[in-house]
Chains A and B, each alone.
Chain A
Amino acid sequence: MKTNSIERKYVVPGDVVIEGDHNPIANVIKEGNKIISTKIGMAEIAYNGVKVIPLNGTYVPRTDDVVIGKVVEMNGFAWEVDINSWFFGILTGSAVFGRGFSSSKDSMQSQFKKGDCLVAKILSFDRTRDPLMSVSGPGLGKITEGEITHITSSKIPRVIGKKGAMIKLIEEHTNCHLTIGQNGAILLKGTEDGRLKAKSAIELIGNNAHLSDLNDRVISLISK
Chain B
Amino acid sequence: MSENNIERISGRAPDELRNVSIKAGVIKNADGSALIEFGKNKIIAAVFGPKEVHPKHMMVSNRAIIKCRYHMMPFSTDTRKRPNLSRREIEISKVIREAVQPAILMENYPRTAIEIYVEILQSDGGSRCAAINAASTALADAGINMRDLVAACAAGKVNGQVVLDVDDQEDKTGEADMPIAMLPNKDLITLFQLDGNLSKEEFDRALELAKIGCNKLYNLQKDALSEKYFNENNKKEDEE
Contact = CB atoms under 8 A, between A and B. Distances in A.
A210 B228 CA distance: 12
Nearest to A42: B230
Contacts of B51: 86
B238 A207 contact: yes
A210 B229 contact: yes
Contacts, number: 82
A40 to B, nearest CB: 5
B31 A58 contact: yes
B229 A10 contact: yes
A27 B183 contact: no
Contacts of A14: 103, 146-149, 183-185
Contact of A211 (B109, B149, B232, B239): B232
B235 A13 contact: no
Interface stretch (B36-44, B136-144, B152-160, B168-176): B136-144
Nearest to B224: A12
Contacts of B109: 86
A174 interface: no
A134 interface: no
B111 A40 contact: no
A23 interface: no
Interface residues of A, number: 28
Given A13-B149, A127-B111, A208-B235, A57 B226 contact: no
Interface string A37-60: 011100000000000001111100
A36 interface: yes
Contacts of B147: 13-14, 29, 36, 38
B99 interface: no
A77 interface: no
A36 B109 CA distance: 19
B93 interface: no
Nearest to B63: A127
Interface residues of B, number: 36
Contacts of A29: 105, 147
A15 B186 CA distance: 11
Contacts of B149: 12-14
A65 B143 CA distance: 21
Contacts of B32: 56
A87 interface: yes
A128 B111 CA distance: 8
Interface in B51-92: 51-52, 61-62
15 contacts: A12-B149, A13-B103, A13-B146, A14-B147, A14-B148, A29-B147, A38-B146, A57-B142, A58-B49, A58-B50, A86-B50, A86-B109, A87-B52, A203-B239, A210-B229
Please provide the 6 A-B residue pairs with the shortest distance between their CB atoms, ordered closest to farther. A57-B143, A14-B148, A56-B143, A13-B146, A127-B110, A38-B145
Interface of B: 31-32, 49-52, 61-62, 103, 105, 109-112, 140-149, 183-185, 222, 225-226, 229-230, 232, 235, 238-239
Interface of A: 10, 12-16, 27, 29, 36, 38-40, 54-58, 86-87, 127-128, 154, 203-204, 207-208, 210-211
Given A39-B143, A55-B143, 17 more contacts: A12-B140, A12-B222, A13-B140, A13-B146, A14-B103, A14-B184, A36-B185, A38-B146, A40-B229, A55-B229, A56-B141, A58-B31, A86-B50, A86-B109, A204-B239, A208-B235, A211-B232
